[in-house]
Amino acid sequence: METAVYSTIGQELRKIDLDDAVFGLEINESLLWYAINNELANKRLGTACTRDRGEVHGSNVKPYKQKGTGRARRGDRKSPLLVGGGAVFGPKPRDFSYKMPKMAKRLAVKTALSLKVHTDTLKIIEDFTVDDGKTKSLYEILNNFGSEERTVVILNEDENDKDSVSMMKRAGRNIHWLSFLSATRLRVHDLFYGRRVFVLETAAKEICEFYAAHENRRNVVLEAGV
């Protein structure tokens, strides 16, 4: 697949080839739904907690006698039927996370990237840095590609270039509609709901190499099994 590379001022510079096995897949809506729900479930804290009648502080003495009052029978004031009593089947701390097969997870990421290509909301931008770390400098670059809307920028977090990546993220901290992703640690939720996805040129090459390598490894394993 051939696509354009844009400069930081929004002008087309050249064409590059993207791997069809990563950016040219058919859209599997059910897989995207499964992957997004998995990511949201893994983010849940699960710290909600209520006290049942055995955990509520109070006396176990009957508030009044069993018979002769004309009122309902009461065992103690910790009953769920009374104000201040324990909760019935209330939430307790739990872990909502669950594992998704790695092959399905990688396929969901590639499907999300392909969806953005099909809807023309993914652009490849030449590598740039924000050396001063100022929000204004980064905002001016992003503003060249349209109005303010939910935007995802995919970076290539190279070990030799940590300073420029940190300065880029520092510049984007005050932009509430902007988020950053690493080329090798993509999230389907962010990609799917991003109105614009900007991929740096080196990050696009890293994505193709990373996911194509896993695909080739999978094919080798399948052939060996046959």
> How far apart are the C-alpha atoms of 225 and 160, rounded to whole Å?
39
Average pLDDT over residues 130-139: 91
Which has the closest alpha carbon to 27: 114, 141, 130? 114
- The 10s digit of each residue's pLDDT in 188-222 is 999 999 999 999 999 999 999 888 766 655 553 34
CB of 157 within 8 A of CB of 183?
A: yes
Every domain of the chain and the residues it spans: 2-29+101-225, 45-95
- The 10s digit of each residue's pLDDT in 87-133 is 999 999 999 999 999 999 999 999 999 999 999 999 999 998 898 88
- Report the chain's C-alpha Rg in angstroms: 27
pLDDT of residue 216: 55
CB of 172 within 8 A of CB of 138?
A: yes
Per-residue pLDDT band for 162 (boundaries 50, 70, 90) equals confident
Average pLDDT over residues 63-72: 93
Out of 3.60.20.10, 3.30.750.210, 3.40.1370.10, 3.40.50.460, select the CATH number for domain 2-29+101-225: 3.40.1370.10
> How far apart are the C-alpha atoms of 198 and 149, rounded to whole Å?
12
pLDDT of residue 146: 82
Per-residue pLDDT band for 157 (boundaries 50, 70, 90) equals confident
Per-residue pLDDT band for 62 (boundaries 50, 70, 90) equals very high
pTM attached to this predicted model:
0.82
* Mean residue pLDDT across the chain: 89
